[in-house]
Amino acid sequence: MIIILKPEITKDSPEYQLLMKYLSQFEGVKTLVAEYEGITRKVTEIHLIGHTQKIPIEMIQSLPGVEKAVRVSAKYRQIGRHGDLEPIGFDYKGLHFDQNTFHVFMGLCAADTKENVEAIFKALKEAGVRTARMGAYKPRTSPYDFQGHGKECLPWLFELAGKYDIAVIAMEVLSPHHIDEIWEALEKAGHPTGVMLQIGTRNAQNFELLKAVGNQQEFPVLYKRGMGLTIEESLNACEYIASEGNHNIIFCLRGVRTHLGDPHRNLVDFGHVPVIKRLTKLPVCVDPSHPIGSRVAAPDGIKDIYHVAAQGVIAGANMVLVEFHPKPQEALCDGPQALYLEEIPCFLDYINRARQAYLDMKDIVARYNLQAMAPKP
Ligand code: PEP
Ligand code: MN
């Protein structure tokens, strides 16, 4: 069961003490308090864990200070919506993220040279974009492939980000100590930019890493669905982050592993955007680069990466993560799928049009008031 407190109730309120006293009579029930920013207000939830069947929900709902109580069946209790709980929103480096906002994170798969990093940041600034992607730690299939420059590149990478007014960089971490390295480099540089810690698909069930990114409040987390995991498994893994106290999470769809996706690298799963938005409170990102894996275009002249990015956005995605490179043929990682630097304005124009189409389509559906048309049960 989850009890949502009225907005004005704090841990010091008499209503809170009364509620806790009432709950303490139930044996085998543990309480866990979760606080976070909802889209419209700060939300305090009391999670009851254990033998909660005997607790009368009507009684809880009638107590002062309680806004509502819901019984939960999903195990991912903190990130879950459980019907109609308010989605989570968060602010980071002056930008807001929730299930209604929209951001595009373009950049290199892996930071390779200073020149290439600078070229991307400069192009983003010219396009008026303050969000980027840059890998410093790369999870490669072969140990002989480029592993990323690691902490060595962080000082110049962050300095360049600051120079071009980049507010947030999505950056993958492979190990808990990478979080400390990023923090130290930002601290030394005077925090010219911010970092969204990315959990890659290969680490989607690396529970110690998930606990480590959850056990800090400094950085938000971009959690990528495991390429071989069901939605249920990935949501339970993602819950590890929230269970440690960090609720500033974005859930990213990036395709799933099956030969049925051929000739694409992975099968695009962006039809799950509305599913994640319905099941969880989290904003949803789509990554069109990794499931497609190449720059090929359809006969209509539109690249497959553009096509599927639009599919995700039309389905209501709140963020797009996509790879670009000034010289894709020289890229040390994922060159075949990197879009050209010169394409940034085109991609933005295209994707913003898809976002507008989604908003227009939402209006159309609202105008027809479909809920009122549904037969009453
Ligand atoms: C990436 O975004 O650079 C990446 C490695 O993605 P994924 O974990 O989805 O393969
Ligand atoms: Mn990549």
Q: Give distance in angstroms: CA of 255 to centre of ligand 2.
A: 13
Is residue 76 a part of any domain in this protein?
no
pLDDT value of position 372: 86
**Same domain for 18 and 99?**
no
CATH of the domain at 345: 3.20.20.70
* Tens digits of residue pLDDT in 8-57: 998 899 999 999 999 999 999 999 998 888 778 888 999 999 889 889 99
Same domain, 28 and 172: no
Choosing from 17, 40, 70, the residue where a domain stops is 70
Measured in whole angstroms, the distance separating CA 222 from the mean position of its chain's CA atoms is 4
Taking ligand 2, which is a single-atom ion, which protein residues have CB atoms under 5 Å away? 109, 334
Tell me whether residue 35 is in a domain. Answer: yes
pLDDT for position 113 = 97
Q: Please give the residue range of the domain that contains residue 286.
A: 90-364
Q: 262 and 154: one domain? A: yes
Contacts of 370-373 with CB under 8 Å at 24 or more apart are none
The pLDDT > 90 percentage for the chain reads: 91
- pLDDT value of residue 17: 94
In this structure, are 18 and 100 located in the same domain? no
- Does the pLDDT of residue 376 top 80, yes or no? no
Domain count within the chain: 2
Asked whether residue 42 falls in the same domain as residue 112, the answer is no
CB distance 107 to ligand 1 below 6 Å: no
15 and 45 share a domain?
yes
Residues 131 and 105 sit within 8 Å (Cβ to Cβ)? yes
What distance in Å separates the CA atoms of residue 296 and residue 267, rounded to the nearest whole number?
16
Radius of gyration of the chain (CA): 22
Per the domain annotation, does 79 fall within a domain? Answer: no
167 and 50 both lie in a single domain: no
What is the three-class DSSP state of 266?
coil
Verify that 193 and 278 share a domain, yes or no. Answer: yes
Spatial distance between the Cα atoms of 176 and 216, rounded to a whole number of angstroms: 11
Give the pLDDT mean for 320-338: 97
The answer to the question of residue 81 being in a domain is no
Q: Which whole number is the average pLDDT over 263-292?
A: 98
Residue 84 lies in a domain: no
Distance in Å, CA 138 to ligand 2 centroid: 8
Residues 320, 292 share a domain: yes
Predicted structure pTM score: 0.96
Residues 49 and 149 in one domain: no
Q: Is there a contact between 117 and 111 (Cβ–Cβ < 8 Å)?
A: yes
User: Which ligand is closest in space to the CA of residue 200?
Assistant: 1
Torsion angles phi and psi, residue 129, rounded to 5: -110, 135
Q: Which residues of 92-104 are buried (b: 16+ CB within 10 A; e: fewer)?
A: bbebebbbeebbb
Is 38 near ligand 1, meaning CB less than 6 Å away?
no
